[in-house]
C-alpha cells in the first residue's frame, strides 16, 4: 500500500524482492549480449573462454571477421543511418506543419482530420508495409502501362522503406510538436507583432525557438524509431538491408559474436541519445 | 481598408492551403489509398494471367483451410494472454514507482525501467536467444545447479514466445499505468483504510476504477503491438511460432500471392481495430485521449 499506512514486514520484503527480480528480468538479456561480445569462442554461448577483442577488431589467424572489418554489417549500419536521416527530416518537417495546422488554423473537417492523423499509430506495422508495397507497385505498373516509364523507386527498396517508416513516425512527431505548441503563450507573438515585427520574423525569432526542445526531441525519437524499425521495413526492403533486417537474417542462421559486438554499439548509441534527451528535457523545463 | 482585409483573407487561405497540402498528401498517399487498394486486392481472384474477377475466394480460403484460421485464433489468444501477463507484471512496479518510492528514487526507478526499451528489439531478442537456447546460459545454469541432468532447450516453446512478448511490451504498460496511478490522491486510500477497507477491497474499489483509463490505454497498445509483432515470435518460437504476421509475410513475399496476403492483412487489421474499439467501449473512453496518454 502507501507509505503513510502500516505495512507488514513481509510486504516490505516482498516489495524489495519484486523490484530486484523485475530489474534482473529487464537487464539480464542486455547484460548477456554485452558480455558475450568479449568471449573468446566462435559462438555467443557459455562457457567463458577468456577475454578477446576479436569480435571488434577481427583476427585473421583464427578466421574471425570483427565488426570493424565486416563490410556487410558496416554497410547496413550506414544504410540504416541514411534511411533514418530521411525519415527524421520528413517527419519533423511534416510534424511541425501539422502542429501549426491543428493548433492555429480553423477549417471545416478539422476534427475528422485530427482523428485521421492518429490512425497510422493503430495500424500494425506489417500491414502498413504490405499496403504501401501493393499500392506502390500498382502505381509502378500504371506508370509503365500509361507512359512506358520504369518507376524503379516504387519497387521494393530504400525509398519505399523511408516512406513506410515515415507514414507512422510522422504521426508521433505531430503529437509531440502539437503538444508543445498548444502550451505556447500567444500573447508573446501579439507583443512582437505590435512592436512591428513581420509574421515570418515572429515565427523565426519567437515561435520556433520556443518549439526547439520538441523539435529536437521528436527528431531524436524519429531517428531511433526508424533505426530500430523492423516490421514495416521487412515488407518493403529491396537489395540493401538496413541493420535490423541484416541482424535478423544472421540470427536465424546462428550468428557469431560479431552480432553481440554490433549490439553493444547500438546500446551505447541509444544510451547516448536517451541521455541527451533527458538532459534536454530538463533544461527545457527549468 | 476593405482591400487590406481581402488581402489578409487571401493570405490566410494561402497559409491554410500550404499547411493542409502536406498533411493530406501524407494521409491519402501513404495511409488511405494504400489501404483501399489493399481492400480491392483482397476481393479479387486471378482467373487467367492479368485477368481478375471480384470474388470472396481469398476469404473462403482462409475459413476453409483450418491451418490459416487456427493460426489466426492462436495469435489472438496468445496476444490476449501476453497482454494480461504484461498487466500483472507491470502493475506492481508502476505502483512502486507512483506511490511507494519517493522523489529522486521514484524518478530513477522510472528511467531505469525505460532504458531497455531504447535498445532495438533485435538486440533484446538476441539476448533472450543467448539466455534460453540449448547451449545457452540458463540451461547451463540449470545443469550446474543440478536441476536438470542435460541442458534443456528453452527456446521454441509457447512460453518462450510469451516471455519475449511480455518483455517487449512492458514499457507500453508501465508508462500509462504510472501516469494514471500518480493522479490518484493518497488521501482516498487512507480514507478507505480508515473505513476498514482491506488491501484487496481498496484495490478493487478505489485503485482499479481510478486507474482504468491507464489500464485500458496500456492494454490496447500492448495487444495491438503483440498482434502485429513479427520478430519476437519468429525468433523465439522458431518453426513452432505460427504467428499470423508470418503467414502474411509468406503469402506476400515468399509465395507472391498478394491477393491472399492482402486478405490476411485485412483480417488482422479488422481484429486489431475491433479490439481497440472494444477496449474503448468497455472503458467509455475517447480514442484521441487514449492515444495521447500512450
pLDDT at residue number A53: 85
Q: Is A7 helix (H, G, I), strand (E, B) or coil?
A: coil
Q: Which of B120, B243, B252, B276 to mutate against chain A (most A CBs within 10 Å)?
A: B120
Q: Which of B16, B34, B272 to mutate against chain A (most A CBs within 10 Å)?
A: B34
Chain B residue numbers with beta carbons less than 8 Å from the beta carbon of A271 are 115, 118
- The highest-confidence range among A165-169, A264-268, B110-114, B188-192, by mean pLDDT, is A165-169
Q: How far apart are CA B147 and CA B133, in angstroms?
A: 17
Q: A226 to chain B: nearest residue by CA?
A: B120
Chain A residue numbers with beta carbons less than 8 Å from the beta carbon of B265 are 126-127, 130-131
The count of domains in chain A is 1
Whether B52 contacts chain A with CB within 8 A: no
Q: Which of B26-30, B193-197, B290-294 has the lowest mean pLDDT?
A: B290-294
CATH tag, B63-293:
1.10.3720.10
Q: Which of B14, B75, B114, B123 to mutate against chain A (most A CBs within 10 Å)?
A: B123
pLDDT at residue number A92: 96
> The CATH number of the domain where A212 resides is what?
1.10.3720.10
Q: How far apart are CA A65 and CA A39, in angstroms?
A: 14
Contacts of B85 (CB under 8 A, 6+ apart): B162, B166
pLDDT at B11 > cutoff 90: no
pLDDT at residue number A40: 86
Q: Out of B30, B96, B224, name the one closest to residue A124 (CB).
A: B224
Alpha-carbon distance B64 to nearest alpha carbon in chain A (angstroms): 23
- Judge whether A264 lies within some domain: no
Answer yes or no: do A45 and B37 touch at CB < 8 A.
no
Answer yes or no: do B230 and A271 touch at CB < 8 A.
no
Alpha-carbon distance B66 to nearest alpha carbon in chain A (angstroms): 22
Whether B118 contacts chain A with CB within 8 A: yes
pLDDT at residue number B2: 62
Alpha-carbon distance A98 to nearest alpha carbon in chain B (angstroms): 6
pLDDT at residue number A286: 41
pLDDT at residue number B217: 86
| pLDDT tens-digit map of B217-243 | 899 889 999 999 999 999 999 887 889
Map out the domains of chain B as residue ranges.
63-293
Contact by Cβ (8 Å): B41, B259:
yes
Contacts of B91 (CB under 8 A, 6+ apart): B177
Q: Out of B118, B252, B272, name the one closest to residue A274 (CB).
A: B118
Answer yes or no: do A105 and B15 touch at CB < 8 A.
yes
Containing domain of residue A240, as a range?
Answer: 72-255
Backbone dihedral angles phi then psi of residue A157, each to the nearest 5 degrees: 165, -175
| pLDDT tens-digit map of B44-66 | 888 877 788 888 888 998 999 88
Q: How far apart are CA A227 and CA A87, in angstroms?
A: 10
- Judge whether A272 lies within some domain: no
Backbone dihedral angles phi then psi of residue A156, each to the nearest 5 degrees: -50, 130
> How many angstroms separate the Cα of A156 from the Cα of each of A131, A240, B248, B264?
12, 10, 17, 20
If we measure between CA atoms, which residue out of A231, A225, A262 comes closest to residue A245?
A: A231
Q: Which of A22-31, A112-121, B99-108, B127-136 has the lowest mean pLDDT?
A: B99-108
Chain A residue numbers with beta carbons less than 8 Å from the beta carbon of B140 are 46-47
Answer yes or no: do A127 and B269 touch at CB < 8 A.
yes
DSSP bridge partners of B133: none
Q: Out of A29, A45, A100, name the one closest to residue B124 (CB).
A: A29
pLDDT at residue number A5: 75
pLDDT at B107 > cutoff 60: yes
DSSP 8-state symbol, B28: I
DSSP bridge partners of B53: B45
Alpha-carbon distance A270 to nearest alpha carbon in chain B (angstroms): 6
- Give this complex's ipTM: 0.88
Contacts of B98 (CB under 8 A, 6+ apart): B106, B177, B178, B181, B182, B184
pLDDT at B134 > cutoff 90: no
Residues of chain A where predicted confidence (pLDDT) is lower than 70:
1, 280-286
Q: Which of A102-106, A250-254, B93-97, B168-172 has the lowest mean pLDDT?
A: A250-254
Average pLDDT over every residue of B163-185: 91
Alpha-carbon distance B222 to nearest alpha carbon in chain A (angstroms): 11
Q: How far apart are CA B164 and CA A92, in angstroms?
A: 32
**Which residues 169-198 in chain B show a CB within 8 A of chain A?**
170, 186, 189-190, 193
Answer yes or no: do A130 and B252 touch at CB < 8 A.
yes
Q: Which helix (H) or strand (E) holds B281?
A: helix B258-283
Answer yes or no: do A270 and B128 touch at CB < 8 A.
no
- The highest-confidence range among B68-82, B236-250, B268-282, by mean pLDDT, is B68-82
Mean pLDDT of chain B: 88
Chain B residue numbers with beta carbons less than 8 Å from the beta carbon of A255 are 126
Q: B244 to chain A: nearest residue by CA?
A: A126
- The highest-confidence range among A46-60, B176-190, B223-237, B270-284, by mean pLDDT, is B223-237
Number of cross-chain residue pairs from A and B with Cβ atoms under 8 Å apart: 242
Q: Which residue has the cell 509465395?
A: B255
**Which residues 214-273 in chain B show a CB within 8 A of chain A?**
224-225, 227-231, 235, 245, 248-249, 252-253, 258, 261-262, 265, 268-269, 272-273
In which band, very low, low, confident or very high, does the pLDDT at B206 lie, cut at 50, 70 and 90? Answer: confident
Q: Which of A80-84, A277-281, B122-126, B171-175 has the lowest mean pLDDT?
A: A277-281
Q: In a 10 Å sphere around its CB, with 0-12 CB exposed, 13-18 middle and 19+ buried, how is residue B47 labelled?
A: exposed
Q: Which of A10, A20, A46, A111 to mutate against chain B (most B CBs within 10 Å)?
A: A46
Contact by Cβ (8 Å): B174, B94:
yes
DSSP strand pairing (B44-48 vs B51-54): antiparallel
Average pLDDT over every residue of B12-27: 92
Chain A residue numbers with beta carbons less than 8 Å from the beta carbon of B171 are none
If we measure between CA atoms, which residue out of B225, B273, B235, B255 comes closest to residue B68?
A: B255
Q: What is the 3-state secondary structure (H, E, C) of B30-88?
A: HHHHHHHHHHHHHCEEEEECCEEEECCHHHHHHHHCHHHHHHHHHHHHHHHHHHHHHHH
pLDDT at residue number B45: 86
Backbone dihedral angles phi then psi of residue A39, each to the nearest 5 degrees: -85, 135
DSSP 8-state symbol, A242: P
Amino acid at each position: 500500500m502507501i507509505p503513510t499506512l502500516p505495512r507488514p514486514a513481509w510486504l516490505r520484503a516482498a516489495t524489495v524482492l519484486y523490484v530486484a527480480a523485475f530489474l534482473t528480468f529487464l537487464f539480464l538479456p542486455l547484460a548477456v549480449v554485452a558480455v558475450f561480445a568479449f568471449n573468446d569462442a566462435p559462438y555467443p554461448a557459455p562457457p567463458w573462454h577468456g577475454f578477446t577483442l576479436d569480435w571488434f577488431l577481427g583476427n585473421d589467424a583464427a578466421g574471425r571477421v570483427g565488426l570493424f572489418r565486416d563490410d556487410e554489417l558496416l554497410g547496413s549500419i550506414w544504410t540504416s543511418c541514411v534511411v533514418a536521416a530521411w525519415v527524421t527530416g520528413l517527419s519533423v518537417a511534416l510534424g511541425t506543419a501539422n502542429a501549426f495546422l491543428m493548433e492555429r488554423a480553423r477549417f471545416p473537417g478539422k476534427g475528422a482530420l485530427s482523428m485521421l492523423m492518429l490512425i497510422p499509430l493503430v495500424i500494425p506495422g506489417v500491414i502498413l508495409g504490405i499496403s504501401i508495397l501493393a499500392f506502390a507497385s500498382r502505381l509502378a505498373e500504371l506508370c509503365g502501362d500509361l507512359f512506358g516509364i520504369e518507376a524503379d523507386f516504387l519497387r521494393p527498396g530504400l525509398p519505399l522503406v523511408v516512406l513506410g517508416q515515415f507514414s507512422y513516425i510522422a504521426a508521433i512527431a505531430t503529437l509531440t510538436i502539437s503538444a508543445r505548441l498548444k502550451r505556447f503563450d500567444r500573447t508573446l507573438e501579439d507583443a512582437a507583432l505590435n512592436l512591428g515585427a513581420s509574421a515570418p520574423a515572429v515565427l523565426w525569432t519567437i515561435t520556433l525557438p520556443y518549439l526547439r526542445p520538441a523539435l529536437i526531441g521528436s527528431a531524436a525519437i524519429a531517428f531511433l524509431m526508424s533505426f530500430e524499425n523492423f516490421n514495416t521495413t521487412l515488407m518493403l526492403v529491396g537489395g540493401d538491408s538496413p541493420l535490423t533486417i541484416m541482424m535478423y537474417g544472421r540470427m536465424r542462421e546462428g550468428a557469431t559474436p560479431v552480432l553481440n559486438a554490433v549490439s553493444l554499439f547500438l546500446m551505447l548509441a541509444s544510451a547516448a541519445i536517451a541521455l541527451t534527451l533527458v538532459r534536454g528535457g530538463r533544461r527545457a523545463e527549468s | 481598408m476593405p482591400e487590406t482585409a481581402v488581402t489578409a483573407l487571401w493570405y490566410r487561405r494561402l497559409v491554410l492551403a500550404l499547411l493542409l497540402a502536406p498533411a493530406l498528401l501524407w494521409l491519402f498517399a501513404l495511409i488511405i489509398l494504400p489501404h483501399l487498394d489493399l481492400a480491392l486486392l483482397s476481393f479479387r481472384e486471378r482467373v487467367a494471367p492479368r485477368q481478375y474477377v471480384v470474388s470472396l475466394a481469398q476469404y473462403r480460403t482462409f475459413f476453409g483451410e483450418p491451418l490459416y484460421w487456427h493460426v489466426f485464433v492462436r495469435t489472438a489468444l496468445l496476444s490476449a494472454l501476453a497482454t494480461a501477463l504484461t498487466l500483472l507484471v507491470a502493475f506492481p512496479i508502476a505502483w512502486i514507482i507512483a506511490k511507494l518510492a519517493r522523489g529522486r528514487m521514484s524518478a530513477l526507478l522510472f528511467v531505469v525501467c525505460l532504458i531497455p526499451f531504447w535498445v532495438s528489439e533485435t538486440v533484446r531478442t538476441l539476448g533472450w536467444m543467448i539466455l534460453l537456447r540449448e547451449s545457452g546460459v540458463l540451461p547451463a545454469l540449470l545443469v550446474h545447479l543440478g536441476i536438470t541432468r542435460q541442458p534443456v532447450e528453452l527456446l521454441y516453446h509457447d512460453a518462450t514466445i510469451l516471455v519475449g512478448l511480455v518483455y517487449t511490451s512492458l514499457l507500453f504498460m508501465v508508462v500509462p499505468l504510472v501516469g494514471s496511478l500518480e493522479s490518484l490522491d493518497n488521501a482516498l486510500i487512507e480514507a478507505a483504510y480508515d473505513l476498514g477497507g482491506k488491501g484487496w477491497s481498496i484495490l478493487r474499489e478505489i485503485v482499479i476504477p481510478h486507474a482504468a483509463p491507464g489500464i485500458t490505454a496500456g492494454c490496447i497498445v500492448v495487444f495491438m503491438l503483440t498482434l502485429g509483432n513479427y520478430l519476437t515470435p519468429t525468433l523465439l518460437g522458431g518453426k513452432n511460432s505460427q504467428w499470423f504476421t508470418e503467414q502474411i509475410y509468406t503469402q506476400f513475399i515468399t509465395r507472391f500471392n498478394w491477393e491472399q496476403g492482402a486478405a490476411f492483412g485485412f483480417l488482422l487489421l479488422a481484429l486489431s481495430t475491433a479490439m481497440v474499439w472494444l477496449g474503448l467501449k468497455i472503458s467509455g473512453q475517447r480514442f484521441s485521449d487514449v492515444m495521447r496518454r500512450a
